[in-house]
Structure 1
């Protein structure tokens, strides 16, 4: 799978299986929550695709080999990769599968899922560790009651999970004091999602959240966790311009933050609330190449990330790994 083929697969984002037994693992995180997905690897590149009943992409597994076709024409051969917990090699766990915020692109507020107990999260990591494949832990969480209580919940988990001796990354909604709390608990990396650098668009799609508070938390986080260990999602396809995305990448990389360019996902539960257009392969490639250039200019390196999306690479074109 070359770079253009991966960009094409990400631009479509969905695949139908030739047989139900070919795989599919449900997601509990973010815009794609509630839907199943598969991980497909070809060469050194990995892609994660949502499983649907109808798609121009089809996946067929033949023994140890997997084949992805576009409208009946084979475009990539590889193999299926079994995720550990949501991600290959990572225990990627959503602690609170509910959220008081109502970001228009996110399914979590609509699904109103459960909240994993402290004990359950530790047990999940123990089970993952027993496989011998645990390389890192990523904790993400909605906000059940308040950002402060969620931060305290996750910080307590980080303290207990340090026993496994692998890097731990955390993604929560930020608040004053969150960085020091997570750093003192033993977290190695943090991710606070800006979602869109277009402030007008942000106010429409993320009501109740503060753009400036997120940006301030990211800047402060770099002072504690260091460059290459602080991340932020920028969604592509919410109606933003490429110019605004490039400006957003500039602002984040100027502060030592690694942006993650994530193709926006039009979840069925939110179709009437936000106008999402899945980005083309060409757009994803152009933006990813710009991001790679900015990281190089700023001396940043995605290969130094220890947890999360820059390590997984399934959902994005990741500088330092894919290009």
Structure 2
């Protein structure tokens, strides 16, 4: 169905020319939305989101950028170039290099399961896995429209359940062969009171026993019993993501009908408990820009989250193959001017509060690749 059938205003793309100014935030936003012509050995497709991106080093920082053969941006000689048409490509002053394919991808377990099917490299030094690749909310009338968690399973590129022993084996190899320093573990939502946290805790414990120095972020929905949050910390996780994506209930009902049955009050209770257990700025949540929300609301939501001690990781919605938003609704990326303004505003709030992604011990905000907040100073 078309995007307008979501019951929200259509989210239009912005076809105007790339920014001429050398402002690093404006440039980073533009490339995040327009993509890049580059061969990216490390990339992700389908899965739980947030994007269908290649992983590069952007002036030395991790960045996840859509690989787009039609982008005006390309990389040559390790430099970002802007194709101006008749005038040819110009150097815009950014070093860009693809993240190399990790060596642990060449290995397999004793039963023949490829390490790459168990966990993936994200950015330069982040190991990421979805420990259970199925979700109770994946039926079409319930699933989050930006998520393709089961598409990679259907494609045969991963396995349904990763065991603690498997993850410990892969984590050890990723550290030894490729210098991985942190790990992200997420999961599809289960029917249980823990919503998947019990298996996550078993996996965390096994990885920490094998690689004690590997910092781990876990990601779950708010569990029905908040003691699951303490259990994850006791297992060895250093940070946690409890992702709401939007704090507009109309947007939540339209984009994530199943997940929206978990109320914002339940999220607030889970965030408060997570901050109590993990500490201020070790808890984060995604805020997606481009779902039809009022852009002025996003900094207001961020202000509330920051006051709780939660890092609001602002990320643009970007089309992802295998999702309803892309394959059915055909929703484009948000307007460049909106993403830039919102990112600058939220970054300023974070800096003023002394909450930086670089101070998180592990996870999406610590990596920062999928958003532009790090470029904006947060």
Q: Which bracket does the TM-score occupy, shorter chain normalised? A: 0.7 to 0.9
Q: Which residue of 2 aligns with 1:206?
A: 256
Greater RCO, CA 8 A, separation 6+? 2
Give the C-alpha shift of residue 312 in structure 1.
Answer: 1.7
- Which has the higher Rg, Structure 1 or Structure 2? 2
Aligned-residue CA RMSD (Å): 2.6
Indicate which of 128, 131, 136 corresponds to 2:182: 136
Cα deviation, 1:8-61, whole Å, max 9, x if unaligned, reads: 11122x3344xx6x534334542357x4x3223342444212334x42245345
Q: 1:69-84 to 2 correspondence within 5 Å?
A: 69-70=82-83, 73-74=89-90, 75=92, 76-82=94-100
Q: 1:97-246 to 2 correspondence within 5 Å?
A: 97-101=133-137, 102-113=143-154, 114-115=159-160, 116-131=162-177, 133-143=179-189, 146=192, 148=194, 150-163=196-209, 164=211, 165-175=213-223, 176=225, 177-209=227-259, 210-212=262-264, 213-246=266-299
Give the C-alpha shift of residue 319 in structure 1.
Answer: 4.4
| Superposition TM-score, scaled by structure 1 size | 0.86
Cα deviation, 1:165-189, whole Å, max 9, x if unaligned, reads: 2211111222123211111111110
| Superposition TM-score, scaled by structure 2 size | 0.74
Higher strand residue share: 1
Unpaired segments ≥5 residues, structure 2:
1-21, 103-120, 138-142
Are residue 8 (structure 1) and residue 30 (structure 2) matched?
Answer: yes
Could you tell me how far apart the structure 2 residues matched to 1:274 and 1:219 are?
35
Question: For 2:206, what is the secondary structure of its paired residue?
Answer: helix
Q: Which residue of 1 aligns with 2:59?
A: 43
Contact 2:282 2:310 in 1 (8 A): yes
Stretches (4+) displaced over 4 A: 109-113, 144-147, 272-275, 319-323
Q: Which residue of 1 aligns with 2:304?
A: 251
